[in-house]
Copies of this chain bind each other. A is one copy, B any other.
Protein backbone atom coordinates (compact mmCIF):
# COMPACT_ATOMS: atom_id res chain seq x y z
CA UNK A 1 0.00 0.00 0.00
CA UNK A 2 2.40 2.58 -1.31
CA UNK A 3 -0.02 5.12 -2.75
CA UNK A 4 -1.14 8.25 -0.90
CA UNK A 5 -3.98 10.56 -1.90
CA UNK A 6 -7.19 10.59 -3.89
CA UNK A 7 -6.72 12.98 -6.82
CA UNK A 8 -3.15 14.24 -6.39
CA UNK A 9 -1.55 10.88 -5.65
CA UNK A 10 1.96 9.79 -4.81
CA UNK A 11 2.99 6.18 -5.34
CA UNK A 12 6.46 5.73 -3.92
CA UNK A 13 9.13 3.06 -4.32
CA UNK A 14 12.68 2.32 -3.32
CA UNK A 15 14.98 1.11 -0.61
CA UNK A 16 17.89 2.63 1.23
CA UNK A 17 20.45 0.33 -0.35
CA UNK A 18 18.96 -0.42 -3.72
CA UNK A 19 19.28 1.67 -6.85
CA UNK A 20 17.39 4.60 -5.41
CA UNK A 21 14.12 6.00 -4.22
CA UNK A 22 11.41 7.59 -6.31
CA UNK A 23 7.78 7.75 -7.13
CA UNK A 24 4.98 8.57 -9.51
CA UNK A 25 2.86 11.65 -9.00
CA UNK A 26 -0.52 11.19 -10.62
CA UNK A 27 -3.26 13.78 -10.93
CA UNK A 28 -1.04 16.85 -10.86
CA UNK A 29 -2.84 19.76 -12.56
CA UNK A 30 -1.51 20.31 -16.10
CA UNK A 31 0.44 23.38 -17.13
CA UNK A 32 2.36 23.76 -13.86
CA UNK A 33 5.89 25.02 -14.41
CA UNK A 34 8.24 22.80 -12.42
CA UNK A 35 10.91 24.88 -10.75
CA UNK A 36 13.71 22.31 -10.53
CA UNK A 37 15.85 24.50 -8.31
CA UNK A 38 13.12 24.77 -5.73
CA UNK A 39 12.58 20.99 -5.72
CA UNK A 40 16.31 20.43 -5.40
CA UNK A 41 16.45 22.91 -2.54
CA UNK A 42 13.70 21.05 -0.70
CA UNK A 43 15.62 17.80 -1.10
CA UNK A 44 18.70 19.52 0.26
CA UNK A 45 16.77 20.55 3.37
CA UNK A 46 16.00 16.90 4.01
CA UNK A 47 19.38 15.39 3.33
CA UNK A 48 21.76 14.40 6.12
CA UNK A 49 25.18 15.89 6.49
CA UNK A 50 24.06 19.45 6.75
CA UNK A 51 25.63 19.81 10.15
CA UNK A 52 27.11 17.80 12.96
CA UNK A 53 23.58 17.20 14.18
CA UNK A 54 22.63 14.93 11.38
CA UNK A 55 24.58 12.16 9.71
CA UNK A 56 27.57 13.26 7.67
CA UNK A 57 27.01 10.79 4.87
CA UNK A 58 27.43 12.30 1.45
CA UNK A 59 24.07 12.17 -0.26
CA UNK A 60 23.69 14.74 -3.01
CA UNK A 61 20.16 13.54 -3.88
CA UNK A 62 19.62 14.76 -7.43
CA UNK A 63 16.12 14.21 -8.72
CA UNK A 64 15.67 12.87 -12.26
CA UNK A 65 12.24 13.29 -13.80
CA UNK A 66 11.39 10.35 -16.02
CA UNK A 67 8.02 11.42 -17.45
CA UNK A 68 5.07 13.78 -17.33
CA UNK A 69 6.83 16.99 -18.35
CA UNK A 70 6.92 18.77 -21.67
CA UNK A 71 8.93 21.92 -22.20
CA UNK A 72 9.28 22.29 -18.43
CA UNK A 73 5.61 22.06 -17.62
CA UNK A 74 3.39 19.29 -16.31
CA UNK A 75 1.16 17.72 -18.98
CA UNK A 76 -1.41 15.97 -16.81
CA UNK A 77 0.40 12.66 -17.42
CA UNK A 78 1.97 10.83 -14.47
CA UNK A 79 5.24 12.37 -13.29
CA UNK A 80 7.78 9.67 -12.47
CA UNK A 81 11.00 10.55 -10.74
CA UNK A 82 14.07 8.84 -9.34
CA UNK A 83 16.66 9.89 -6.79
CA UNK A 84 19.59 7.53 -6.94
CA UNK A 85 21.31 6.20 -3.85
CA UNK A 86 25.01 6.81 -3.44
CA UNK A 87 27.84 5.44 -1.37
CA UNK A 88 25.73 2.78 0.21
CA UNK A 89 27.97 0.05 1.53
CA UNK A 90 25.72 -2.93 1.77
CA UNK A 91 28.44 -4.96 3.38
CA UNK A 92 28.16 -2.66 6.40
CA UNK A 93 24.97 -4.49 7.14
CA UNK A 94 26.15 -8.07 6.80
CA UNK A 95 26.35 -8.48 10.56
CA UNK A 96 22.68 -7.52 10.82
CA UNK A 97 21.53 -10.10 8.33
CA UNK A 98 20.20 -12.47 10.95
CA UNK A 99 19.42 -10.04 13.75
CA UNK A 100 16.19 -8.35 14.76
CA UNK A 101 17.29 -4.91 15.94
CA UNK A 102 15.11 -3.66 18.82
CA UNK A 103 12.23 -1.39 17.72
CA UNK A 104 13.27 -1.62 14.07
CA UNK A 105 11.30 -3.08 11.19
CA UNK A 106 13.45 -6.23 11.11
CA UNK A 107 11.14 -8.50 13.07
CA UNK A 108 7.78 -7.33 11.74
CA UNK A 109 8.93 -7.28 8.10
CA UNK A 110 10.41 -10.76 8.43
CA UNK A 111 7.20 -12.08 9.94
CA UNK A 112 4.92 -10.35 7.46
CA UNK A 113 6.79 -11.00 4.25
CA UNK A 114 8.81 -14.10 5.06
CA UNK A 115 11.99 -12.39 3.90
CA UNK A 116 13.54 -8.94 4.10
CA UNK A 117 16.14 -6.68 2.60
CA UNK A 118 18.30 -6.23 5.69
CA UNK A 119 20.58 -3.66 4.14
CA UNK A 120 20.02 -0.39 5.98
CA UNK A 121 16.39 -1.00 6.66
CA UNK A 122 15.46 -1.57 3.04
CA UNK A 123 11.99 -0.27 2.38
CA UNK A 124 11.46 0.71 6.02
CA UNK A 125 14.35 3.17 5.92
CA UNK A 126 13.62 6.87 6.33
CA UNK A 127 15.32 7.30 3.01
CA UNK A 128 11.89 6.48 1.57
CA UNK A 129 10.80 9.98 2.55
CA UNK A 130 12.88 11.38 -0.32
CA UNK A 131 9.94 10.57 -2.57
CA UNK A 132 7.60 12.49 -0.28
CA UNK A 133 9.81 15.55 -0.34
CA UNK A 134 9.87 15.61 -4.15
CA UNK A 135 6.09 15.21 -4.42
CA UNK A 136 5.61 17.74 -1.64
CA UNK A 137 7.76 20.25 -3.48
CA UNK A 138 5.62 19.84 -6.60
CA UNK A 139 2.49 20.33 -4.47
CA UNK A 140 4.01 23.42 -2.85
CA UNK A 141 4.67 24.96 -6.25
CA UNK A 142 0.97 24.67 -7.05
CA UNK A 143 -0.18 25.79 -3.62
CA UNK A 144 2.07 28.85 -3.83
CA UNK A 145 -0.03 29.99 -6.73
CA UNK A 146 -3.10 29.77 -4.50
CA UNK A 147 -1.42 31.83 -1.77
CA UNK A 148 -0.93 28.90 0.62
CA UNK A 149 2.19 28.92 2.82
CA UNK A 150 3.36 25.90 4.83
CA UNK A 151 6.02 26.26 7.51
CA UNK A 152 7.18 23.69 10.04
CA UNK A 153 9.77 23.92 12.77
CA UNK A 154 11.29 21.97 15.64
CA UNK A 155 9.37 22.95 18.75
CA UNK A 156 10.78 20.39 21.12
CA UNK A 157 13.82 18.12 21.50
CA UNK A 158 13.71 15.81 24.50
CA UNK A 159 12.76 18.06 27.40
CA UNK A 160 13.75 21.32 25.75
CA UNK A 161 10.66 22.94 24.32
CA UNK A 162 9.53 26.27 22.95
CA UNK A 163 7.22 27.85 25.48
CA UNK A 164 5.01 29.89 23.21
CA UNK A 165 2.79 29.11 20.30
CA UNK A 166 3.72 29.82 16.70
CA UNK A 167 2.34 33.36 16.67
CA UNK A 168 5.17 34.47 18.93
CA UNK A 169 7.93 33.49 16.49
CA UNK A 170 9.20 34.68 13.16
CA UNK A 171 8.87 31.50 11.14
CA UNK A 172 10.91 32.94 8.31
CA UNK A 173 13.94 32.52 10.57
CA UNK A 174 13.51 28.77 10.98
CA UNK A 175 16.19 27.95 8.44
CA UNK A 176 18.76 30.13 10.20
CA UNK A 177 19.91 27.44 12.59
CA UNK A 178 20.65 23.78 12.27
CA UNK A 179 17.86 22.47 14.43
CA UNK A 180 15.24 24.51 12.56
CA UNK A 181 13.87 26.17 15.68
CA UNK A 182 12.63 29.76 15.29
CA UNK A 183 14.00 30.86 18.68
CA UNK A 184 17.80 31.11 18.41
CA UNK A 185 18.38 30.65 22.15
CA UNK A 186 16.26 27.56 22.41
CA UNK A 187 17.84 26.31 19.19
CA UNK A 188 21.23 26.59 20.83
CA UNK A 189 20.05 24.53 23.81
CA UNK A 190 18.54 21.90 21.56
CA UNK A 191 21.76 21.76 19.60
CA UNK A 192 23.76 21.18 22.77
CA UNK A 193 21.42 18.46 23.94
CA UNK A 194 21.61 16.66 20.63
CA UNK A 195 25.39 16.88 20.70
CA UNK A 196 25.48 15.46 24.19
CA UNK A 197 23.21 12.60 23.24
CA UNK A 198 25.39 11.80 20.25
CA UNK A 199 28.48 11.58 22.40
CA UNK A 200 26.63 9.04 24.51
CA UNK A 201 25.94 6.95 21.45
CA UNK A 202 22.26 7.53 22.01
CA UNK A 203 19.35 9.22 20.27
CA UNK A 204 16.55 11.59 21.19
CA UNK A 205 13.08 12.49 19.93
CA UNK A 206 10.97 15.62 19.91
CA UNK A 207 8.08 17.51 18.40
CA UNK A 208 7.63 19.39 15.14
CA UNK A 209 4.98 22.09 14.80
CA UNK A 210 3.50 22.91 11.39
CA UNK A 211 1.60 26.05 10.43
CA UNK A 212 -0.41 26.55 7.24
CA UNK A 213 -1.60 29.99 6.21
CA UNK A 214 -3.82 31.06 3.37
CA UNK A 215 -5.91 27.91 3.07
CA UNK A 216 -9.29 28.61 1.46
CA UNK A 217 -12.48 27.87 3.41
CA UNK A 218 -14.04 24.54 2.51
CA UNK A 219 -11.29 21.91 2.27
CA UNK A 220 -12.16 18.60 3.91
CA UNK A 221 -14.69 15.87 3.14
CA UNK A 222 -16.92 14.70 6.01
CA UNK A 223 -17.22 12.24 7.55
CA UNK A 224 -14.34 9.96 6.53
CA UNK A 225 -12.25 12.57 4.76
CA UNK A 226 -12.04 15.17 7.50
CA UNK A 227 -9.12 17.45 6.79
CA UNK A 228 -7.43 17.00 10.15
CA UNK A 229 -7.85 13.21 9.95
CA UNK A 230 -6.17 13.23 6.54
CA UNK A 231 -3.35 15.40 7.88
CA UNK A 232 -3.01 13.12 10.89
CA UNK A 233 -2.85 10.06 8.66
CA UNK A 234 -0.22 11.78 6.51
CA UNK A 235 1.95 12.63 9.50
CA UNK A 236 1.56 9.24 11.18
CA UNK A 237 2.78 7.62 7.96
CA UNK A 238 6.21 9.29 8.44
CA UNK A 239 8.87 7.08 10.03
CA UNK A 240 9.26 7.45 13.82
CA UNK A 241 6.07 9.49 14.30
CA UNK A 242 4.14 8.53 17.44
CA UNK A 243 1.54 11.26 17.77
CA UNK A 244 -0.48 14.00 16.08
CA UNK A 245 -2.58 16.78 17.55
CA UNK A 246 -4.11 19.93 16.09
CA UNK A 247 -5.65 22.99 17.72
CA UNK A 248 -5.93 22.38 21.45
CA UNK A 249 -4.92 18.74 20.95
CA UNK A 250 -4.08 16.89 24.15
CA UNK A 251 -4.41 20.06 26.24
CA UNK A 252 -7.91 19.31 27.47
CA UNK A 253 -7.85 21.65 30.46
CA UNK A 254 -10.10 24.34 28.96
CA UNK A 255 -13.89 24.43 29.26
CA UNK A 256 -16.11 24.73 26.20
CA UNK A 257 -16.74 28.38 26.98
CA UNK A 258 -12.99 28.98 26.98
CA UNK A 259 -11.99 27.16 23.82
CA UNK A 260 -14.92 27.79 21.51
CA UNK A 261 -13.92 30.30 18.83
CA UNK A 262 -16.41 33.19 18.59
CA UNK A 263 -17.09 34.43 15.08
CA UNK A 264 -17.03 38.11 14.20
CA UNK A 265 -17.54 40.21 11.13
CA UNK A 266 -14.20 41.28 9.70
CA UNK A 267 -15.38 43.83 7.17
CA UNK A 268 -17.67 41.46 5.33
CA UNK A 269 -15.69 38.31 6.00
CA UNK A 270 -16.65 35.89 8.74
CA UNK A 271 -13.60 35.33 10.93
CA UNK A 272 -12.97 33.57 14.23
CA UNK A 273 -11.68 35.75 17.08
CA UNK A 274 -9.62 32.92 18.57
CA UNK A 275 -8.34 29.78 16.87
CA UNK A 276 -8.43 26.97 19.37
CA UNK A 277 -9.98 24.91 16.58
CA UNK A 278 -6.72 24.98 14.65
CA UNK A 279 -8.30 26.21 11.45
CA UNK A 280 -10.55 23.19 10.96
CA UNK A 281 -14.15 22.83 12.17
CA UNK A 282 -16.15 19.65 11.63
CA UNK A 283 -13.38 18.43 9.37
CA UNK A 284 -13.47 21.42 7.02
CA UNK A 285 -11.03 24.35 6.87
CA UNK A 286 -12.55 27.61 8.11
CA UNK A 287 -9.99 29.97 6.65
CA UNK A 288 -7.97 30.51 9.84
CA UNK A 289 -4.40 29.22 10.21
CA UNK A 290 -4.14 25.45 10.41
CA UNK A 291 -1.58 24.31 12.96
CA UNK A 292 -0.67 20.92 14.33
CA UNK A 293 2.08 19.13 16.21
CA UNK A 294 3.82 15.86 15.39
CA UNK A 295 5.71 13.73 17.94
CA UNK A 296 8.81 11.79 16.89
CA UNK A 297 10.38 9.03 18.95
CA UNK A 298 14.17 8.75 19.20
CA UNK A 299 15.75 6.93 16.27
CA UNK A 300 15.97 3.22 17.02
CA UNK A 301 19.52 2.84 15.71
CA UNK A 302 21.89 3.45 18.62
CA UNK A 303 25.59 2.80 19.08
CA UNK A 304 25.00 1.37 22.56
CA UNK A 305 24.77 -2.39 22.79
CA UNK A 306 21.30 -3.87 23.27
CA UNK A 307 19.70 -7.24 23.99
CA UNK A 308 17.82 -8.89 21.19
CA UNK A 309 17.07 -12.13 19.33
CA UNK A 310 18.20 -13.40 15.94
CA UNK A 311 16.17 -15.01 13.18
CA UNK A 312 16.84 -18.42 14.70
CA UNK A 313 15.21 -17.30 17.94
CA UNK A 314 18.51 -17.17 19.81
CA UNK A 315 19.15 -14.35 22.24
CA UNK A 316 22.10 -12.15 21.33
CA UNK A 317 23.34 -8.56 21.50
CA UNK A 318 23.58 -5.92 18.83
CA UNK A 319 25.06 -2.45 18.36
CA UNK A 320 25.24 -0.08 15.43
CA UNK A 321 28.49 0.99 13.81
CA UNK A 322 29.31 4.08 11.84
CA UNK A 323 27.60 7.43 12.15
CA UNK A 324 23.88 7.79 12.50
CA UNK A 325 21.39 10.55 13.19
CA UNK A 326 21.11 11.18 16.89
CA UNK A 327 18.04 13.32 16.30
CA UNK A 328 15.93 13.35 13.14
CA UNK A 329 13.81 16.35 14.01
CA UNK A 330 15.71 18.92 11.95
CA UNK A 331 15.64 16.72 8.86
CA UNK A 332 12.00 15.82 9.42
CA UNK A 333 10.84 19.44 9.18
CA UNK A 334 10.73 19.44 5.36
CA UNK A 335 9.13 15.97 5.39
CA UNK A 336 6.29 17.22 7.58
CA UNK A 337 5.83 20.18 5.27
CA UNK A 338 5.87 17.90 2.23
CA UNK A 339 3.17 15.57 3.55
CA UNK A 340 1.08 18.60 4.51
CA UNK A 341 1.45 20.02 1.00
CA UNK A 342 0.49 16.75 -0.69
CA UNK A 343 -2.58 16.41 1.53
CA UNK A 344 -3.72 19.99 1.07
CA UNK A 345 -3.39 19.98 -2.69
CA UNK A 346 -5.27 16.68 -2.81
CA UNK A 347 -8.13 18.13 -0.78
CA UNK A 348 -8.10 21.35 -2.74
CA UNK A 349 -8.62 19.35 -5.94
CA UNK A 350 -11.30 17.25 -4.24
CA UNK A 351 -13.11 20.42 -3.19
CA UNK A 352 -13.54 21.30 -6.87
CA UNK A 353 -15.87 18.32 -7.27
CA UNK A 354 -18.60 20.12 -5.31
CA UNK A 355 -19.87 22.59 -7.92
CA UNK A 356 -22.57 24.82 -6.51
Contact = CB atoms under 8 A, between A and B. Distances in A.
Nearest to A132: B223
A259 B113 contact: no
A38 B195 CA distance: 53
Interface residues of A, number: 144
Contacts of A181: none
Interface in A4-47: 4, 7, 9, 11-15, 18-24, 26-27, 29-31
Given A111-B217, A252-B207, A354 B281 contact: no
A243 interface: yes
Given A224-B3, A315-B264, A286 B244 contact: no
Interface in A261-290: 261-265, 268, 270, 272-273, 276-278, 281-286
Given A297-B252, A298-B259, A122 B77 contact: yes
Interface string A232-262: 1100110100111111111011111101111
A48 interface: no
B80 A13 contact: yes
B222 A226 contact: no
Contacts of A123: 67, 75, 77-78, 222-223
A146 to B, nearest CB: 10
Given A31-B356, A244-B243, A296-B252, A15 B236 contact: no
7 shortest interchain CB distances as A-B pairs: A243-B245, A105-B282, A1-B225, A203-B256, A108-B284, A229-B236, A1-B221
5 contacts: A11-B24, A73-B115, A123-B223, A242-B250, A352-B355
